[in-house]
Structure 1
Amino acid sequence: MEHVNSYYAASANRHEPWPQLTEDIRCDVCVVGGGYTGLSTALFLVEAGFDVVLLEASRIGFGASGRNGGQIVNSYSRDIDVIEARYGQDTARMLGSMMFEGGDIIRSRIEQYGIDCDFRPGGIFAALNSRQLHELENQKANWERYGHRQLELLDERQVREEIGTEAYVGALLDHRGGHIHPLNLALGEAEAIRKLGGRIFEQSAVTHIQYGDPAVAKTAGGSVTANFLVLAGNAYLGNLEPKLAAKAMPCGTQIVTTEPLSEEQTASLIPRHYCVEDCNYLLDYYRLTGDNRLLYGGGVVYGARDPDDIERLVMPKLLKTFPQLKGVKVDYRWSGNFLLTLSRLPQFGRLEPNVYYMQGYSGHGVTCTHLAGRLLSEVLKGQAERFDAFARLPHLPFFGGRRFQVPFTAMGAVYYSLRDKLGV
């Protein structure tokens, strides 16, 4: 399969394609999945001297890594105060020490390998009511306790200077956040793997895994025998490993991208080119692209069904935020899946002593996937403490099993959406 018809695919950097696997080969580590989790893992490992093979069922960045909103959002989908309350101070200290590491890894990758991906610093969390603004005040205090000092609270007047809308009563500006062209970041990381001697195969879906020492990943055209196997397919892993499919639920999100806007228009919308997400449970997110389009996303489709009319779903949200854009043309519209867990925290672990998995970033995948790759490389180098801090978290199934996980989760979303509308 090729990339979906998105703005990212249309503006992707030119690159040499990767071959399809057509033979039986061996390596130290076989990584299954060519999104950020797999790419980050493979890059850290080839840097450490491992012989790595990465297998991608479609194209590099085909899934969420090449379709997402492109925002570098720090922390996890559950913030550190929730982690403290649920799992205790020791777990919170360990996870808290890693909250901002993923974004730092992305910036260092861009600089080290000269990746052209339209990086712009700065991200805004925008509050629609006083309750959300109070939560942002708590978030700022929590993040500062764990060493993040590049945060700035904005009042109603200040947020209107940064975003050309009357929708928000305040905001939190994270100078350590930012945004990128996500597909070009993925392609740049894949090129770095290639240059360092790692082997990447596209259009090479794994059809069967033979566990053992070594493990074997089989495709339609060949196989990879490896000392270690890493499952990094996330929302696009399918039923390759049923034990993982039962622990999380794919969810869809939708994005539109406008025609190029004038310099006058972009200056009136987001003059400093920060990315923005609001604080609703089913949040909206948006930013300006490198060629001055407004990229706007929002909503969740539980169970990862593709909606019939993406533009009809997203444009009312866009125009509610920016009514001055009435009549603007939409050039691209697409959807993509992320993987949701019941706890909203990522799931890392081992299926066998030499088989690892990382999945379920619950909407915070851009940064946490990059952290995941570093942690897995640490494990294979003999330092498992940080990986195991995540692996010890309970990986709970959704209520009602796979048959009822969608309706039960949707019912919960309706409740929280009503709370957002009422501001309580």
Structure 2
Amino acid sequence: MANTPYPESYYAASANGAPPRPALQDDVETDVCVIGAGYTGLSSALFLLENGFRVTVLEAAKVGFGASGRNGGQIVNSYSRDIDVIERSVGPKQAQLLGQMAFEGGRIIRERVAKYNIQCDLKDGGVFAAITAKQMGHLESQKRLWERFGHTQLELLDQRRIREVVACDQYVGGMLDMSGGHIHPLNLVLGEAAAVESLGGIIHEQSPAVRIERGANPVVHTPQGKVRAKFIIVAGNAYIGNLVPELAAKSMPCGTQVIATEPLGDELAKRLLPQDYCVEDCNYLLDYYRLSADKRLIFGGGVVYGARDPANIEAIIRPKMLKAFPQLKDVKIDYAWTGNFLLTLSRLPQVGRLGDNIYYSQGCSGHGVTYTHLAGKVLAEALRGQAERFDAFADLPHYPFPGGQLLRTPFAALGAWYYGLRDKFGY
């Protein structure tokens, strides 16, 4: 049987040790079968195990193989579309409930790290950086919006203040969110997997779900075994393929690229990001960056629609890094990698149930680190019969991409080109 390793990345090279997790080779029974050992799946598994469920997790490759182990490592609150957009779409009552949950994911991460002693280089503080006066005005509105929903750990940064937190000349201001922050994403998911196993959960790696047998007692088939369960949670996101065709029709895998420099040394790292906050700009096609624990700059950006792997990631991302930090022109790039996230047309997550016993969450649209941890809690609540928060997500409207799977990639790329022009000319 094929053994799929982690792709080469800084995270894989610096990952904490993990035990072998053999592929499923038997027929087993459990209360809940979770498909996907990323943040969504493991967050669901942890909440379920803490409430007395038996849980088996199936992972096609290795724990955190997908976006959970390859992302920028930034803890960013809310959703890819903010609460005001949701409010205009669904009305104030549903938006109120979703708004109350918008800042919960980061708290769940911190609770998990503390409770299970997860070593993932957690740092507090995230900056939204404005390149134009219009973007700064948006941040001022965003601060008022978030404070309306009880989120108060925010500070607007004028041009002088933002120079104190990031040595980049292109920003006119920004907003600091002290409940944001950053982590080593693969070590976080590995720590969560260990927590699942400490509570009696079973994780099988190299065990892709190849077919779901639906019905009153659903069965998940793998190449060498099967899991009979009372409930199934589909948590594969951009790596689920066509396992559930009705979900694939309403989403599109997209790739984002990340590089990691050689270690910069304490002095240069301190000059670039004196408080060790993470940063993302306010463009539609945004750039994001932070320091690693060993003082590398991890810099990401760009989107490849349809999730193709670019031939030269460094050629795409290094110019973006040098635009922000020209002082790094002689710095070597040690790692370059790509990872896929799942985009929805609304850019809001898709949550729901197929039949009576197959639950799913997908489509974080690039905002997944915090949302996936919240999603696990919401899915676990639904399986326990507490569906109010689940229903608030499930009732969000979602639509298939125009033109179906054949045309969704060029249409999305055309839209991104348009918004990229708007970013470029400051609209």
Q: Does 1:366 align with 2:356?
A: no
The one-letter code sitting in structure 2 at the alignment partner of 1:341 is T
Q: Does 1:230 align with 2:233?
A: yes
Alpha-carbon distance in 2 for matches of 1:165, 1:328:
16
TM-superposed CA distance for 1:227, in Å, is 0.4
The equivalent residue for 1:46 is 49
Alpha-carbon distance in 2 for matches of 1:352, 1:103:
31
The equivalent residue for 2:84 is 81
The equivalent residue for 1:271 is 274
Q: Does 1:153 align with 2:171?
A: no
User: Among residues 297, 309, 313, which one is paired with 1:310 in the alignment?
Assistant: 313
The one-letter code sitting in structure 2 at the alignment partner of 1:180 is I
Q: Does 1:319 align with 2:332?
A: no
Summarize the alignment of residues 211-290 of structure 1 with structure 2, pairs less than 5 Å apart. 211-290=214-293
Alpha-carbon distance in 1 for matches of 2:354, 2:34:
14
TM-superposed CA distance for 1:364, in Å, is 0.7
The one-letter code sitting in structure 2 at the alignment partner of 1:88 is G
TM-superposed CA distance for 1:316, in Å, is 0.2
TM-score relative to the length of structure 1? 0.99
The equivalent residue for 1:111 is 114
TM-superposed CA distance for 1:19, in Å, is 1.4
Alpha-carbon distance in 1 for matches of 2:60, 2:247:
18
Structure 2's unaligned 5+ residue stretches are none
The one-letter code sitting in structure 1 at the alignment partner of 2:55 is V
Alpha-carbon distance in 1 for matches of 2:276, 2:92:
37
TM-superposed CA distance for 1:414, in Å, is 1.0
Alpha-carbon distance in 1 for matches of 2:412, 2:384:
39
The one-letter code sitting in structure 1 at the alignment partner of 2:30 is C
Summarize the alignment of residues 347-366 of structure 1 with structure 2, pairs less than 5 Å apart. 347-366=350-369
TM-superposed CA distance for 1:167, in Å, is 1.0
The equivalent residue for 1:196 is 199
TM-score relative to the length of structure 2? 0.99
User: Among residues 4, 7, 13, which one is paired with 2:7 in the alignment?
Assistant: 4
Q: Does 1:139 align with 2:142?
A: yes
Secondary structure class of the residue paired with 2:101: coil
Alpha-carbon distance in 1 for matches of 2:390, 2:150:
21
The equivalent residue for 1:19 is 22
Secondary structure class of the residue paired with 1:126: strand
Alpha-carbon distance in 2 for matches of 1:84, 1:50:
35
Structure 1's unaligned 5+ residue stretches are none
The one-letter code sitting in structure 1 at the alignment partner of 2:373 is H
The Cα offsets for residues 211-268 of structure 1, whole Å up to 9 and x where unpaired, read as: 0111000011100000001100000000111111101000000000000011110111
The equivalent residue for 1:343 is 346
User: Among residues 378, 393, 396, which one is paired with 2:396 in the alignment?
Assistant: 393
TM-superposed CA distance for 1:351, in Å, is 1.0
The one-letter code sitting in structure 2 at the alignment partner of 1:404 is L
Alpha-carbon distance in 1 for matches of 2:352, 2:420:
32
TM-superposed CA distance for 1:408, in Å, is 0.8
User: Among residues 403, 416, 424, which one is paired with 1:413 in the alignment?
Assistant: 416
Alpha-carbon distance in 2 for matches of 1:391, 1:222:
31
Secondary structure class of the residue paired with 2:309: coil
TM-superposed CA distance for 1:292, in Å, is 0.4
Q: Does 1:126 align with 2:129?
A: yes
Alpha-carbon distance in 1 for matches of 2:247, 2:89:
23
Q: Does 1:207 align with 2:213?
A: no
Alpha-carbon distance in 2 for matches of 1:172, 1:400:
39
Secondary structure class of the residue paired with 1:206: coil
The equivalent residue for 2:70 is 67
TM-superposed CA distance for 1:310, in Å, is 0.1
The Cα offsets for residues 326-368 of structure 1, whole Å up to 9 and x where unpaired, read as: 1100110000000000011000001111011100000111000
The one-letter code sitting in structure 2 at the alignment partner of 1:236 is Y
Q: Does 1:377 align with 2:366?
A: no
The one-letter code sitting in structure 1 at the alignment partner of 2:400 is P
Summarize the alignment of residues 181-192 of structure 1 with structure 2, pairs less than 5 Å apart. 181-192=184-195
TM-superposed CA distance for 1:381, in Å, is 1.2
Alpha-carbon distance in 1 for matches of 2:83, 2:213:
38
TM-superposed CA distance for 1:382, in Å, is 1.2
The one-letter code sitting in structure 1 at the alignment partner of 2:288 is Y
TM-superposed CA distance for 1:91, in Å, is 1.3
Secondary structure class of the residue paired with 2:210: strand
The one-letter code sitting in structure 1 at the alignment partner of 2:298 is L
Secondary structure class of the residue paired with 2:304: strand
TM-superposed CA distance for 1:394, in Å, is 1.3
Alpha-carbon distance in 2 for matches of 1:171, 1:398:
34
TM-superposed CA distance for 1:85, in Å, is 1.1
Pairwise CA RMSD:
0.6
Alpha-carbon distance in 2 for matches of 1:415, 1:157:
32
The Cα offsets for residues 156-195 of structure 1, whole Å up to 9 and x where unpaired, read as: 1110111011010000000010000000000000000101
Alpha-carbon distance in 1 for matches of 2:206, 2:18:
16
The Cα offsets for residues 130-169 of structure 1, whole Å up to 9 and x where unpaired, read as: 0100000010000000001100000011101110110100
Q: Does 1:90 align with 2:113?
A: no
TM-superposed CA distance for 1:128, in Å, is 0.4
Query: Alignment length, in residue pairs?
Result: 424
Alpha-carbon distance in 1 for matches of 2:154, 2:197:
37
TM-superposed CA distance for 1:42, in Å, is 0.5
The one-letter code sitting in structure 1 at the alignment partner of 2:411 is F
TM-superposed CA distance for 1:17, in Å, is 1.7
TM-superposed CA distance for 1:81, in Å, is 0.9
